Amino acid sequence: MATEDELFAAVDALLEGEPEMPPPAERARLREAARVSQARLAQVLRTTTQTVKNWEAGRAEPRPPRRQAYQRLLDGWAEKYPEPADVEPADAEPAVAQVSEASTGESNAEQEAPPPSTVPAPETAAMAAGENALPRPAVVPAAASRPPRSTARSSTSRRPVAKKAAPVNASAGGNDPRFENGPLAVVDVADGQVLAYCPGGLVLDVPAKSVPALVGWALKEAKLGQARLSGPGKDADPLLVLTEAALERYGLPVALTEEERLAGRIPESHKVIKQLVRAEWKLTKRGFGPWARIYRPAVGAERACVQLCIPSWHALDVRHWGEAAQLAPAELARVLGAYASRVMTPRGSTAVTGLELMTALHPPTRATAPDADGKRHSEHNPGSLGKDPVDPAPCEAPDGHPVLADLPRFHVRGPAEKLCEEAYDWARPMTDDECLHRNLVGIDVNMAFAAGANGLIVGLAEPPTYVKSPVFDQKLPGSWLVDLSHVDLSRVKSGKEWVELDGSLLPSPFTPTGERPEGAAWYATPTVAYAQELGYEVRPVEAWVRRENGRYLDGWYGRLRDAYIATMADLGVPADVPPEEFLAAMDGYRQRDPELAIVVSAVKATVKGGLGKLRERPRGEGWTPGQPWRALSRPTWRPDIRAAVISRTRINMHRKIVKHAAFTGQYPVAILSDCAVYAVDGESPLDFLPYREGKPLPGGFKLGVNPGLVKHEGTQSVLWGEGLREQFDAPELNLARYIKDGTVTGQDSGE
């Protein structure tokens, strides 16, 4: 037990506390009086200009050790530039009215995040604010005492009082009053109170004492959700993210057992599931797992569905969401809110969300015009994949698919039986001249697969049609059996001219391994079209074509492109800047705002994951070869679309490599998917990319943030590369896999 002296010392320390910082407006006044720019102040305090803006706008508070340095500077300025006597004091604080809990006037003061053991009451401190945060809610004083609870027990919103710049992606609800609080909320418990943190700094009191009541609150009072992305589509359901404290409050486990983790859900005998059943709520077939969906059957056009995200159950994969699950509630709401606003409300993993985004932009059905009785009916929505799944062509089906059930057991299909459009994994030994260079420089294509989807014509709702001895049509999506072994990369067309190249230093554009094909094989339309582009004749033997087609992925690409570019701009990497400025902006961009850097990773994972879901394989489920698996019931299970996107992405890379080689005589030594490595003397891409007066080689590699342009992936020495290949006795070890930071693990190297 503590002694009296120890208690008195602790109280004295609390009374002394830290010197109070001047109000935000006074901070700005003092800096302007000293004629110091925000950028200069940021340089002195070794932080970012945006952080200084946040301090002066009251959206964030400085943390040690910058807090003490900033305090000392402000004190010095205050002595030198005292406030004029005839001006109202800068520390005059806006009054906070005592209102009932049903109103929306109560505000939260935003302060530094205290240690977990000393979390302040919600009315005296709200969300933690990082130093590098983008615009956040303004700091306002707390009410002297908590307003009395209303008998209606409705949720209380705590909005910032000051009308400052809106936080990035504060709400995905736009001007729709149904969703004025945004698409989602992070539910947490502080000092015995359940709070819902929304994007933009809004905090709601949650009166619900059980999960069924929480679902009802989200639908009736919280004003959460997101407006549909297309006319015939559906509004996004509210998303509630439950913290560990919220899980404990509502009787749910903080972590899943090993058995529950493998099953992906808690057992149906759990008391919370019984509560939902008694309240007549239903769960989807996936049960109550990391991404649970709780609903009641729709009545007409009225939906009653809420989605739960449970980070401590590994809902947010660290490969794509980084440390998002460890963020404070307000910061997590900011990250997920930014993603929801720019992409869509998460519906599960980034892969699931990528697939759902396709459907949200092109719903399978739409309402007809009213008939004679004034009733509307459902009909096929042109340009969509329809509501019914279609079987792939036999060559497009993965092993074990029902359309291949008649094949002999253990039969191995070769290139003439199976479409194999995959990303590059190619490398070659370096030449003697290349070994004389000092460095290996890697360049990486931004959002390469998204760029491959842009403008691509793919099949829609109709099944493929078989054609014998077809005439190739590059505008007709499908799969073609054709012999491309005669294409000689030593002499190809580049534009309208024939160019001579060293074909032995180039990968074949027709195989993911870069090896020259032998005989006829199945290819997607973009691959066969590229053979024609290189100046060679193609004569398909047979084909499976899709006569109903369109640019299904254009809207999907556009939304993800805009999300990526906007978020990178928030991180200080703008589009359309000179290459030198772009490279400088990319240096350390993730450290400028680690939270928004998470959003960038999630957007990129949405692209790759969504395309991967187009050919999802069985995931346990007691599946046996020749039998259907769950994913086949989706109209978005389309391996032909995935193959076409990958084909076009690989061709785009090869086209740029050929342009670069024809102009500079330089050839890549390794390619992995969207990363190419060159042996050069310098350390930067500018040391080998042929820019002239700031303009790149037409059709070649161009530095920039837009999808399809390239960035610097990494630089290592040639000695590092040769030493690595010698260490693992692999002359063709793919160095592009390790070029970023030079780190190699036994698993990576095949050990």
Q: What do you get for the CA distance between the two ends of the chain, in Å?
A: 57
* Percentage of the chain lying above the pLDDT 90 cut: 68
Q: Dihedral angle at the C-alpha atoms of 540, 543, 547, 552, nearest 10 degrees?
A: -100
H helices present in 160-310, as ranges: 211-220, 244-249, 258-263, 271-278
Q: How confident is the model at residue 220 (pLDDT cuts 50, 70, 90)?
A: very high
Distance (Å, whole) CA 64 – CA 112: 10
Structure confidence at residue 414 (pLDDT): 95
pLDDT at 111 over 50: no
Predicted confidence at residue 5, as pLDDT, reads 67
Q: How many CA atoms lie within 13 A of 292 on its CB side?
A: 28
**61: confidence class by pLDDT, cuts 50, 70, 90:** confident
Q: What is the mean pLDDT of residues 693-711?
A: 94
- How do residues 416-464 score in pLDDT, each as one tens digit? 999 999 999 999 999 999 999 999 999 999 999 999 999 999 999 999 9
SS3 704: coil
pLDDT at residue 368 in the model: 85
Portion of the chain with pLDDT greater than 70, in percent: 84
Which range (41-50, 220-229, 697-706) has the least confidence?
Answer: 41-50
Cα 122 to Cα 107, 139, 157, distances in angstroms: 10, 14, 12
Residues whose CB falls within 8 Å of the CB of residue 209, separated by 6 or more in sequence, listed in order: none
> Which domains are delineated in the chain?
18-80 (1.10.260), 116-142+151-346 (no CATH)
pLDDT reported for residue 212: 97
Give the side-chain half-sphere CA count within 13 A for 353. 26
Radius of gyration of the chain (CA): 30
What does the pLDDT read at residue 123?
Answer: 33
Total-model pTM: 0.78
Q: b vs e for 529-542, b when ≥16 Cβ sit within 10 Å of the residue's Cβ?
A: bbbebbeeebebeb
What pLDDT, on a 0 to 100 scale, did the predictor assign at position 72? 86
Coil vs helix vs strand at 176: coil
What pLDDT digit, counting tens, does each position of 502-512 carry?
A: 999 999 999 99
Question: What is the overall mean pLDDT for the chain?
Answer: 85
Return all residues near 498 (Cβ < 8 A) that are at least 6 apart. Answer: 491, 492, 535
Question: pLDDT per residue over 630-677, tens digit each?
Answer: 999 999 999 999 999 999 999 999 999 999 999 999 999 999 999 999
Enumerate the H helices of 38-197 as residue ranges: 38-44, 49-57, 66-80
CA dihedral over 50, 52, 54, 60, signed as positive or negative: positive
- pLDDT-derived band of residue 300, with 50, 70 and 90 as boundaries? low
Query: Looking at the DSSP assignment, which residues form a beta bridge with residue 716?
Result: 440
pLDDT range class, residue 301, cuts 50, 70, 90: low
Strands (E), 253-361: 282-283, 291-299, 302-309
- In the numeric block, which tokens belong to residue 657? 């490599």
Judged on CB neighbours under 10 Å (0-12, 13-18, 19+), 690 is: middle
Token pair belonging to 118: 């000393």
| Cα–Cα distance for residue pair 513/548, rounded to 1 Å | 32
pLDDT of amino acid 66: 83
CB atoms within 10 A of CB 482: 23
The reported pLDDT for the residue numbered 112 is 33
pLDDT of residue 18: 56
Torsion, Cα of 715, 718, 722, 728 (10° steps): -10
Identify any residues that bridge with 380 across adjacent strands, giving them in sequence order: 365
Question: Cα torsion for 735, 737, 741, 744, to the nearest 10°?
Answer: -80
- Is the model's pLDDT at 179 over the cut of 90? yes
Name 212's Cβ contacts closer than 8 Å, sequence gap at least 6: 275, 276, 278, 279, 281
List the structure tokens of 282.
């239903």
Residue for token pair 């693990």: 745
Averaged pLDDT for residues 577-603? 96
Instruction: List pLDDT tens digits, range 673-692.
Output: 999 999 999 999 999 999 98
**Are the beta carbons of 293 and 284 closer than 8 angstroms?**
yes
> Which residues are paired to 426 by β-bridges?
671
Neighbours of 706 (CB within 10 A): 15
d(CA 402, CA 396): 12
Q: How far lies 523's CA from each of 422, 484, 517, 542, 616, in Å?
A: 11, 10, 11, 11, 20
